[in-house]
Amino acid sequence: MKRKQRRNCLFATVVLLFSLALASCAADPGVQRPIDAAAYASFAADLVADEISALYDDYAAYYTPLEYRLLYEDFQGSFGGVGISMLQIDNEVTVYSIVAGSPAEGSGIAVGDVIVAVDGQEISDGDTSAAAALIRGEVGKAVTLSLRRGADAGLYEVTIIRDVIISDTVSGANLPDYPGAAYIGISGFNDLTNSEFAELYQQLNEERAIDKLILDLRSNGGGNFYSCIAIAEYFVPLNHVVVSEKTVLGREIYRSAKGNLHGVQIVVLQNAYTASASEVLIGALRDEADAILVGSASFGKGITQSVRQLPSGSGHRYTCSIYFTPSGFSLHGLGLEPDIIVEDPQQGDARDYFSLDPSLNAHLQAALDYLFPAAATDAGADAAP
């Protein structure tokens, strides 16, 4: 097996170098060539992508220069688009979150919808990068998405005008009708998420002391591994394990350097699209902060990837580790099971799904019923005939 892997690595390296050489020829008008060097470079890049997919796992990928640029825009947090985030589920591009205030909000698109085509160009094999490249573009220009809602439903189309999308990843508020309770939602993890979380938590805590936190990680597909660890550290006791990571070089243990918010009662909202870095955070909060999980089983991505830029401007994503919760549990392929089950609605408005009105948000209502059982009992008595 090792010999085969070395052979495949060598093949991929040779083909990549070949593609770079051809691309260089294509860019040099002084080179006499009987072939279309750019076309051959594209063909070679496809070969590299195929070899990477075969050699590694489902999460390994080769990024073209365009795809790598899109990835960089995500890290920067600002681009022209419509305000949806996507995840590959069963080889389909699935909407897993909608940015509040974006053009997509109120367009009719809902979490869980499958994107089939963009401007008439079909999206195949669940290629989220290809979908993003087509959806993003010049601000003020229209883009048409063809979507499917449910496995047997027909297609519907939505035309949206692109706008500047700023990827604020943290939002929240105190819940005035529930003493000491605050709600904070995290849509993804980038370089700024930790500082955004700390700033918002401090602001809310200054308004009113927080002793109960509802942390909404529904449809959070992950992101920066170290950002989620930094947030977990607030709640995990000082020097306790946050997460451990196993690589080819051995095991690395990440311990809390903070613990200043340990003791806050935490309820986490999750769903089937809660994945990766979100699951790292949830695992730490469950094992070390006695968090209660509300919703459905999480996605179950218990491995991490690194991305490296190549000389051509393209990039390579590869799996580099498997991680374990503080109790030693590997959730890969399993996910994290909820303590209180709340299923996602089959359809509905994304604004209702993330609403701070418990009558519209079943997950939030279940969390509040757990944190304030007396209020839940009184409400039930009032509703009785």
CATH of domain 170-305+315-375: 3.90.226.10
The half-sphere exposure of 341 on its side-chain side, counting CA atoms within 13 A, is 3
Q: Is 363 exposed, middle or buried (0-12, 13-18, 19+ CB in 10 A)?
A: buried
- Which helix H or strand E contains 79, and what residues bound it? strand 78-81
Does the domain made of 78-166 have the CATH classification 2.30.42.10?
yes
pTM over the 0.85 mark:
no
For 378, phi then psi, to 5°, come to -65, -40
In tens digits, what is the pLDDT along the chain, a chain of 385 residues?
Answer: 455 455 445 545 544 554 555 455 545 555 455 445 445 455 555 655 555 555 556 788 888 887 888 887 877 667 899 999 888 888 999 998 898 889 999 899 999 999 999 999 999 889 888 899 899 999 999 999 999 997 777 899 999 999 998 878 999 999 999 999 999 999 999 888 999 999 999 999 999 999 999 999 999 999 999 999 999 999 999 999 999 999 999 999 999 999 999 999 999 999 999 999 999 999 999 999 999 999 999 999 999 998 889 888 888 888 999 999 999 999 999 999 999 999 998 776 666 889 999 999 999 999 999 999 987 666 665 655 5
SS (H, E, C) 83-99: CEEEEEECCEEEEEEEC
Using a 10 angstrom Cβ sphere, with 0-12 exposed, 13-18 middle and 19 or more buried, the burial of residue 41 is buried
Cβ burial of 140 (10 Å; 0-12, 13-18, 19+) is exposed
Q: Where are the domains of the chain?
A: 2-28+35-55, 78-166, 170-305+315-375
Alpha helices in the chain (DSSP H): 2-27, 37-55, 65-76, 128-135, 193-207, 225-235, 277-288, 350-353, 362-371, 373-383
- Of residues 122, 83, 53, 44, the one with CA closest to residue 314: 44
Q: Give yes or no on whether 78-166 and 170-305+315-375 have one common fold.
A: no
Distances, alpha carbon 305 to alpha carbons 57, 58, 60, 265, 302, in Å? 11, 11, 8, 32, 10
Q: How many CB atoms lie within 10 A of CB 171?
A: 16
Q: 355 near 255, Cβ under 8 Å? A: no
Angle, nearest 10°, between helix axes 373-383 and 362-371? 110
Copy the structure tokens of residue 227. 């950002």
